[in-house]
Structure 1
């Protein structure tokens, strides 16, 4: 069986939003599975020495312009979020909890979170917003909240981040296919060629 595509993302990353909207199409075209790995990229930055967009004003201004332009080019809905540099651990933990229960629903949940943040301007760092989106898993709200905020789920997200860093993930979006890394939205074209035609 062909190696799956490991897809690492942060729910507040605009390029993760773009890549997430396209990765499944590539995988389906070439008979690959996509395994999603949510990260809180700020945690990885502290380890590998990266800098967030807000830490580099010139880059931030460019990215805001570039994302809007890229979304128009790809005909994807996009609205610049008013909530910036937000923590995404609640959403990431909700995804992991849902993934254990139903991977397909978890994929739909990730789409809903990205849409809420990048098209509806909802604050996905707010637990109540995350719970609204997590209702698709079909669990009572209080049960979902208890599961998402449980110490075990917090440790799970921490472990996911540590594994990602050990695999060389230093930013998002980041994809790995059979040990071959591809960083950023712009490398999806190379990833597609790699899975479609083989190593080069």
Structure 2
């Protein structure tokens, strides 16, 4: 079975859109998708990239583009500035979970954040997600020190794989892995998986 490493951070609206396409992608291809959390601001800095919000014209374009994508995928979307909330507490939980539990948790967070179901400006936004999505409270107990170190390690792993942002997909089907960046490259990833 082919392996796809999927690098993500909850602060990325484009990754939310990719997540909304993920079930169909997995159903259509015989692949194992490994959901790997990374610290996006750190990855951007380490790679020498610039956040879209720091470039006025790119930020304006991205807002229109995100709305078009949400309409195209027929998914709810509410734009929030990624810099207005700290995704790390949720990322630590994502790291601590594995397999189907990680996928379930991550989908719930992405949907709640980017559909507007949760107000990210509140102090208890993560608690609200646990209640709304009926997630197991046991998942809340995460060793943050270890999770922080592991998140740093997966961020370095993504950088080493060539990532400079998210969503990034690394397809392991040949001795030399292939990288695909962005929700708009998932079609190319799909073709490569055939």
Q: Who is 1:70 aligned against?
A: 69
Q: Could you tell me how far apart the structure 2 residues matched to 1:80 and 1:129 are?
A: 16
- State whether residues 7 and 174 of structure 1, in contact with CA within 8 Å, keep that contact through their aligned partners in structure 2: yes
Residue 7 of structure 1, CA deviation: 0.7
Residue 123 of structure 1, CA deviation: 4.7
Confirm or deny that 1:166 pairs with 2:160: yes
Residue 137 of structure 2 aligns to a residue in which SS? coil
Residue 124 of structure 2 aligns to a residue in which SS? helix
Q: Could you tell me how far apart the structure 2 residues matched to 1:89 and 1:109 are?
A: 14
Q: Who is 1:79 aligned against?
A: 78
Q: Could you tell me how far apart the structure 2 residues matched to 1:60 and 1:173 are?
A: 17
Q: Which runs of 4+ in 1 moved over 4 A?
A: 123-127, 134-137
Give the TM-score normalised by structure 2. 0.87
Distance 1:157 1:167, change over 3 A: same
Residue 144 of structure 1, CA deviation: 2.4
Post-superposition Cα deviations, 1:17-62, rounded to whole Å, max 9, x if no partner, equal 1111112321221211111011221101111111112211110011
- State whether residues 38 and 155 of structure 2, in contact with CA within 8 Å, keep that contact through their aligned partners in structure 1: yes
Residues 17-26 or 153-162, more deviating: 17-26
Which stretches in structure 2 are left out of the alignment for 5+ residues?
none
Give 2:116's match in structure 1, choosing from 95, 120, 138.
Answer: 120
Give 2:192's match in structure 1, choosing from 189, 194, 198.
Answer: 194
Q: Who is 1:109 aligned against?
A: 105
Q: Which has the higher contact order (CA 8 A, sep 6+)?
A: 2
Instruction: Please give the residue correspondences for 1:23-102 in structure 2 after superposition, counting only pairs within 5 Å.
Output: 23-81=22-80, 83-85=81-83, 86-99=85-98
Confirm or deny that 1:180 pairs with 2:178: yes
Q: Who is 2:140 aligned against?
A: 144
Residue 108 of structure 1, CA deviation: 1.5
- State whether residues 94 and 130 of structure 1, in contact with CA within 8 Å, keep that contact through their aligned partners in structure 2: no
Confirm or deny that 1:129 pairs with 2:125: yes
